[in-house]
Every structure is written in structure tokens, then in C-alpha cells.
Chain A
Amino acid sequence: MASDRIFGLVTLITAVAYIAAATQIQTNFFSGEYLPKLFPLIIGAVAALSSLVLIFKPDPDPDWPMARTWGNLAVAVVVLAFYSVLISPLGFILPTAIAAMILSYQISPNARQAVLAGLGLSLGLFVVFKFVLMLGNVVAYRIPTPAKLWDAISILIPFVGH
């Protein structure tokens, strides 16, 4: 009950914000006054209406994970976020090994398996991507200057990064 109500409230607020943003869409001579706004406004209205239905007629709650598992999930998200910004300045192998290791540990907490998964996946996938599939953008390693590293990490800090 509560989950759906919260979800409905979040979507309702988002929908209202979306409608507000849609009324502010810039238009010009080529697009006409209302056409660029029309469909976003319809979407926002349907979403707001559906959110109201959900708030007044919620389904039973799903089984949410326990606190510990939330911790595991949060770790995974943080790891993936860092992976996203570091794969460019550090190259493929090191970030992939560390990320795969931590993710593996979150699924099944066994240090030996995790190290195995990290090393195996990073080296194995690197060989496949680089030499079998010959993908661009995949570089083995890069040694960044501290400034570049900070640039990459600062992306994740709100209002500091770019």
C-alpha cells in the first residue's frame, strides 16, 4: 500500500514538474506556437492522472529487501557510478577488475571467487573486446595525471563537476 502511494506521489510530482517544464518550451516561427508543447502536455496529464489513480487505489506492497541487502545494492550502484567515470581516464583493465570483483562479492560473499571473477573477467573480456571484436574506445590502461583523475571523479559530486 505505502510503496505504491509513495511511487504515485513521486510520479505525480514529476508529472506536474514535467507539465510546468513543457509550458516553458521555446517555440519559433517554424514550429508554431503550440505544437512542440502539445504532446509533452498530454503525456504529463496522463501521467498525473494515472498517479492519482495509484495513490487512491494502491496495490499490496512488494517484498522489499532487508537493510543489509540495501547496503549491497547501494555498494553496487556506487561501484558502477565510479566505473562509469573512471573507465576513460584509467583504461579498461583496472576499473573492470575492481568493479567485477566488488559486484561478484555483492552477489556471493566469497573473497576467493570474487578475486577470480574480477581478474578473469577483466583480462578475458579485454582480450575478446580488443583482439577478437576489435572494438574502438577500449584501451588496456592509461596513467592519468592527478588533475585528470580529479576531473573524472568530480563529475559524481553534484554542483562541483560538469
Chain B
Amino acid sequence: METLANLALGFSVALSPYTLLLAVVGCFIGTIIGALPGLGPSNGVAILIPISFALGLDATAALVLMTSVYYGAMYGGRISSILLNIPGDEPALMTTLDGYPMAKRGEAGNALVLSGVASFVGALLATIGLILLAPVLARVAFLFGPAEYFALYLLAFCTLGGMASNNQAKSAIAACIGLGIAMIGVDSSSGLPRLTGGNLHLYDGVDFLVAIVGLFAIAELFFFIESHGKGSSIGVVLDKVSIPWKYIKQTMPTMLRASGVGFVAGVLPGAGASLGSFLAYMTEKSIAGEKGGFGTGVPKGIAAPEAGNNSAAGGALVPMLTLGVPGSGTTAVLLALLMTLNITPGPTLFRDNPDVVWGLIASLLIANVVLLVMNVPMVKIFVKILSVPAWILLPGVTMISTTGIFALTGSYFDLLMLVGFGVLGYFLRKLDVPTVPVILGILLGGNMEDALRRAMTLSDGDPTYLFSSWIAIGFWVAAILGFVAPMFLRGILKKPEGHVD
């Protein structure tokens, strides 16, 4: 009953004509961002945060816009997977396996609509899961003290690093780069500058927006320069689009199962949507068995990863909202948005800002419906946008991101740092060092250190205090397992080979 009342509150916030308009605009922009190869959800949200902030949107409006973009990008990623065999974003990788073969068979329209419906089912179920699970988790989180929080942050870094990278040492270095950068600036307790090298520009610390936009968007420009914009032309023709009821009915159980798998994967801190789509696909593949024909363009092979991916995207919001620990790269960026808006996620968010939380949840539901309506009849428009050539797209994205940062801070120093982060991002990605832990480190470094300091102050400097409760010990064990286990599982969890022309 309480949940319904809260939802009503949320809808009363989110259902004004203005916010509805923002939701539609956000969904449209998000789908385009997700569809364009090289511009994932993290990039998209990251580029738009400075702009939406410079626009002076209030918290609810900015949140509605950005979550619409986030969900939209999750939908859009599948379009280029199916038509170009290039995942529009990382979680859409699994969709290429069956989506592209199906499109090549002349069923591109069916594949797009089916994946759209699967996305809708996944996202809808995940949002319902979020509504049920988040308040419960928020109540549990009230039991957390500094020791528990420190262990929880550690867990996020360990699992994220373990999943995101092929080399544990590299993900640890990535996390350290981020955390190390977060330490720069004036220390909150002493009021004295730390690690600034005497540079006045660094007294305020490094703005995480600069880091995010640099590592994601500017680095992408360098990658396109390296590849000279090759590999972004449409290989499949899309003629007529109709609704394949038969496929939808046939794959419904798959979608439901995949949504469940995806949601669980999303809720785990640090795992995120890529793991969700991967696990959903692999589960369905093993249920279907040999004669299921996975990899040859079967409807189930499209429905499973899309439902899983979108469900995980919703699930990843649970730890982000209740604990302040994002479950994926994109939720990290959304966390950055909340922090920019001066909203601190965590258990208190549900108590102190119910309008924000439930407005967000309501706007997720709205965005989801808008996206389904938008994606089925308008899919052709998005396909057209895919043919924007790289030589205009990437300079455009670069200019939008630099101007966004400039409009926000007006400082040449931030722009130079932006370029620096772009170069860093290029080298890190070249060397197979994951960049998401860097972002997470910059975002969470301050909180993580605060937790450690408070723990040390409470215990008068006794390090065993960090292991003083069963919850904390559980997190430590999970963190160590999450970091070590992927080393042994890597052989088993090998990603299937993509389709090569």
C-alpha cells in the first residue's frame, strides 16, 4: 500500500507536461546515442550532464531527462548490433550474435521489433523489481556504519574490476588512478591542500564530469581517428517493418527468464548490464541446447540478451540509489549526475527526498512506455540517423562535449584536463585497462576515504574495527572472491565468437 502511495507521489512529480516533454526528448536523444556506434550510454549521459546543468534544469527535470537518455541508449544499442553487426554499446554485444544473422536473412524489421519488445519487458520487470527491492535494501542500509561502507566500496571496485577486465592487476591500477585523482584538492578536515603540486586550479579537486567526458567521449574521437571512421556503413537493408506476433509469443518465456537473470546481475555491485546480457544469453543457450540453433539468427537469441541487458540496467539502479554504489559504468555516470544536483544517494535518499526517488522511478516507467511506442513505428528514422558519417559525427560530439564543459565551468584549465583525460583514456583502452574503475574511483574516492577515516576515528586507529561486524566481513569475503574468482572462471565464461562476414 505504501508502495502505491509512493508511486502516486512519483507520478504526480513526473507527469507534468514539461517533464513528459523532457522524457520524450530524452528517449529520442538516448536512442540515437545508443544506436550510434562508439557512443554508448555512458558517453551519452556524460556528454549531456554538463549541458543539462548549464541549462539550469531543476533536480527532477534533469533526472527525468537523463534517465530517459539512459534507458533510451539501452534500447538504441541494439539497432546497430542488428543492422551493422557493431554493438552500439558494450551490453549490446550479445545481440549481434543472433540479431545480425537474422537481419541478413531479410528479417531485419522483425529482429528490431522483437528486440524492442524484449527491451520493454526487461526494463519494465526491472523497474518493478526496483520498486519492490530498493526500499527494503534502503532499510537494511541504515544498519551500515563506516566499516561496512568502506568494505562495500571495496566490494564495488573488486567485482567491477574482476568482471570488466581481463587482467586483475590492470583493473586495480585503474581503480587506483581514479582514487588517487579523487584525493587531490583541499582536505575537508584540515582545510589544507593535498597533492595539488601547488597548482591553484587543483585546489577544488578534479571535476568528475571532466574526467568522464574526457575518458569516454574524447578518447572515442582518438579511436575514430585511428580507424579513420571505417566500419560504420549499413550492410543490411531494412524494407518493411511489421510486428512479428509469432516471435513475440514464442519468446515470451525466454524474455521473462532473461529479465530475472539480468536483474540479479544488475543488482550485484559492479557487474552491470554487460554481464546481464551475457548471462541471459548463455542461460537461454544452455536451456535451448544444441538444437536451439543459437548463433544462427533465432528469435530467442535476440530476445534473451536484450531483455537481460535492459533488466540489468534497471537492476543496476538498485545499489546506486540505496547504497550510493553504482552497479555499472553508466549508473556511475548517473551517480555523477545526482552528485552534481547535490543529491546524495544512499538510504537517506528514500527518507529525505522521496519526491526525487519516486519521481525517478515513475519517469523510468514513463520512459519505458515512450520508448516502446517510439521504437516500433519510428525505427526507420533511427536507422537513417545511423548513416551519419564519422567525419561529421565525431568532431560534432567532441565540440558538444568541450562546449558543455566550457559552459559549465568557463575554465581553460578544465578543457586542457579534458584533453588530457582523453589521451589517458586512449592509452588505457589500448592497453586493455578498464576505464570504468577510474571513473568510479574519482566519484567514490572521497566517500570511501571518509568511511575509512570515520572508522579509524571511532576505533581510535584500530584497523581490526574494519572487520568488526558480520556484514563487513561478508563484504570483505565477497570482495576478495569477486576479485579472485574471475581469474579461474575466465576460461569457462569465454564470450562466444561474433559473426564474421
Contact = CB atoms under 8 A, between A and B. Distances in A.
A50 B158 CA distance: 13
A46 B183 contact: no
Interface in B366-415: 389-392, 394-396, 398-400, 402-403, 406-407, 410, 412, 415
Contacts of A53: 169
A54 B406 contact: no
Nearest to A66: B226
Interface of B: 51, 54-55, 166-167, 169-170, 172-173, 175-177, 179-180, 183, 187, 189-195, 197, 218, 221-222, 224-226, 228-229, 389-392, 394-396, 398-400, 402-403, 406-407, 410, 412, 415-416, 418-419, 422-423, 426-427, 430-433, 448-449, 452-453, 456-457, 461
A80 B398 contact: yes
A110 to B, nearest CB: 7
A103 B176 contact: no
Contacts of A18: 180, 195
A125 B400 contact: yes
B396 A47 contact: no
Contact of A31 (B54, B187, B452): B187
Given A59-B432, A137-B407, A84 B412 contact: yes
A99 B399 contact: yes
B169 A57 contact: yes
Contacts of B410: 88, 136-137
A104 B391 contact: yes
Main SS at interface, chain A:
helix
Contact of B218 (A4, A7, A62, A80): A80
Contacts of A108: 228-229, 389-391
Contacts of A31: 187, 189-190, 192
A159 to B, nearest CB: 13
B169 A50 contact: yes
Interface residues of A, number: 76
B430 A25 contact: no
Contacts of B173: 11, 47, 50-51, 54
Interface centre among B170, B175, B412, B453 (most CB of A within 10 A): B412
B152 to A, nearest CB: 16
Given A50-B176, A137-B410, A36 B190 contact: yes
Nearest to A87: B406
A107 B395 contact: yes
20 contacts: A11-B173, A32-B457, A35-B189, A36-B189, A39-B452, A40-B195, A44-B176, A50-B172, A50-B173, A53-B169, A73-B426, A76-B225, A81-B419, A87-B402, A107-B224, A107-B391, A108-B389, A120-B392, A121-B392, A135-B51
A26 B419 CA distance: 30
Contacts of A3: 431
A101 B448 CA distance: 43
Given A80-B398, A107-B391, A108-B228, A35 B457 contact: yes
Main SS at interface, chain B:
helix
B474 to A, nearest CB: 21
Contacts of A138: 403, 406-407
A30 B191 CA distance: 9
Contacts of B175: 46
Shortest beta-carbon contacts, A-B, top 10: A31-B190, A84-B415, A47-B176, A53-B169, A108-B391, A135-B407, A50-B172, A100-B395, A31-B189, A103-B395
Interface in A95-148: 96, 99-101, 103-104, 106-108, 110, 113-114, 116-118, 120-122, 125, 129, 133-138
Contacts of B177: 11, 47
A13 interface: no
B391 A27 contact: no
A85 interface: yes
Contacts of A54: 167, 169-170, 173
Given A11-B177, A104-B395, A135-B55, 6 more contacts: A21-B197, A36-B187, A36-B189, A36-B190, A57-B169, A77-B422
Contacts of B423: 77
Nearest to A99: B399
Nearest to A86: B412
A116 B187 CA distance: 48
A36 B221 CA distance: 38
B192 A84 contact: no
Contacts of B419: 77, 80-81, 84
A122 B448 CA distance: 42
Contact of A38 (B167, B416, B456): B456
Contacts of A94: none
A56 to B, nearest CB: 10
A96 B457 CA distance: 51
Given A11-B173, A107-B225, A121-B395, A133 B448 contact: no
A83 B449 CA distance: 36
Contacts of B407: 129, 135-138
B382 to A, nearest CB: 20
A16 interface: no
B442 to A, nearest CB: 12
A129 B402 CA distance: 12
Contacts of B191: 28, 30
Nearest to B450: A39
B105 to A, nearest CB: 32
Contacts of B192: 25-28, 31, 36
Given A62-B431, A84-B416, A135-B54, A35 B402 contact: no
